[in-house]
Amino acid sequence: MSVTAAAALRIEPFKVACSSCNLRELCLPVGMSGAQLDRLDELVALRRSVPRGEPLFRAGDVFQSLYAVRTGFFKTCVASEDGREQVTGFQMAGEVLGLDGIGTERHTCDAVALEDSQVCAMPFHQLEDLTRELPDLQRHFHKIMSREIVREHGVMLLLGSMRAEERLAAFLLNLTQRLRARGFSATSLVLRMTREEIGSYLGLKLETVSRAFSKFQDDGVLEVKQRAITVLEPERLQQLVGQARC
């Protein structure tokens, strides 16, 4: 589908429904009953397509909705005044985007599609209203926010105390785990992001990321063909992450 055709279909003609979505075990509706799902369906009325390279939202944009990734892949990144940029996360199907905007009513980071993607938009104030009626939904929403905080703790640990190869190993293990949870192979994957984006996320330069990939390949831990990665020895990646520094 061309970019312009995708734009024309910005409001999808198909009925968007959590109740019939194959991501409902990963997304916001986890653990909700049929009647509850119907209520959520009313809320999630809008599906949006985001072509590769385009932002779903930008820092400074007024915050209105949370977004659940339906298909595709995103990165979120923050920037300081002087232009330094930091990728703060990568999001795949079933994951939620936009939590950063709740605090200030404006988004504080950019969310950019790394491939042609679709999201479900959930107007936040309506979602808040609904969570007051549906305790299960409220509970789950709070868990999603809390887990994001815990995930970021993990990234801080990585950035604060791991060496380059350990960081990349942790990153790859995290990716494969999330892919496996979505029914994909845990051993072969195609990276959606560049070496530079991986580096930004891991606090490394792209050359260092590239060297680490090559090292892993030389050691027989991975097979690397540009962005196509095959994990040959996952347990050695695991070792690397759990290893003491020096």
**162-181 footprint of a copy of itself as x/- string (CB under 8 A):** x-------------------
Give 60's DSSP letter.
Answer: T
Query: Is residue 85 close enough to count as binding DNA by CB under 7 A?
Result: no
Query: Is residue 210 close enough to count as binding DNA by CB under 7 A?
Result: yes
Residue from 83, 226, 235, 246 that binds a copy of itself (CB under 8 A)? 83
Residue from 5, 62, 150, 246 that binds DNA (CB under 7 A)? 246
Task: Yes or no: say if 98 and 109 are a contact pair by the CB < 8 Å rule.
Answer: no
Question: How far apart are alpha carbons 230 and 203 in whole angstroms?
Answer: 23
- For the chain, the farthest-separated pair of C-alpha atoms sits apart, in whole angstroms, at 57
Nearest to 119 by CA among 46, 192, 58, 179: 46
Query: Is residue 194 close enough to count as binding DNA by CB under 7 A?
Result: yes
**172-191 footprint of DNA as x/- string (CB under 7 A):** -------------------x
Q: Which two tokens stand for residue 164?
A: 């380059």
Task: Yes or no: say if 98 and 144 are a contact pair by the CB < 8 Å rule.
Answer: no
Q: What is the CA radius of gyration of the chain?
A: 19
Query: Is residue 197 close enough to count as binding a copy of itself by CB under 8 A?
Result: no
Give the shortest CB-75-to-a copy of itself separation in angstroms: 13
Nearest to 155 by CA among 146, 167, 147, 137: 167
Match 């932002």 to its residue by tokens.
Answer: 55
End-to-end, the C-alpha distance of the chain in Å comes to 51
Residue from 78, 186, 206, 232 that binds DNA (CB under 7 A)? 206
Query: Is residue 207 close enough to count as binding DNA by CB under 7 A?
Result: yes
Q: Which is nearer to a copy of itself, 45 or 59 (CB)?
A: 59
Give the shortest CB-134-to-DNA separation in angstroms: 43
Give the shortest CB-76-to-a copy of itself separation in angstroms: 8
Query: Is residue 153 close enough to count as binding DNA by CB under 7 A?
Result: no
Query: Is residue 205 close enough to count as binding DNA by CB under 7 A?
Result: yes
Contacting residues for 48 by C-beta, under 8 A, at least 6 apart: 10, 11, 56, 67, 118, 119, 120, 121
Query: Where does residue 107 fall: left (phi above 0), alpha (psi -120 to 50 degrees), or beta otherwise?
Result: beta
Query: Is residue 2 close enough to count as binding a copy of itself by CB under 8 A?
Result: no
Interface ranges with a copy of itself (CB under 8 A): 78, 80-86, 88, 99-104, 108-109, 128, 131-133, 135, 138-139, 142-150, 152-157, 159-162, 200-203, 241-245
Interface ranges with DNA (CB under 7 A): 163-165, 191, 194-196, 203-211, 213-214, 224-227, 245-246
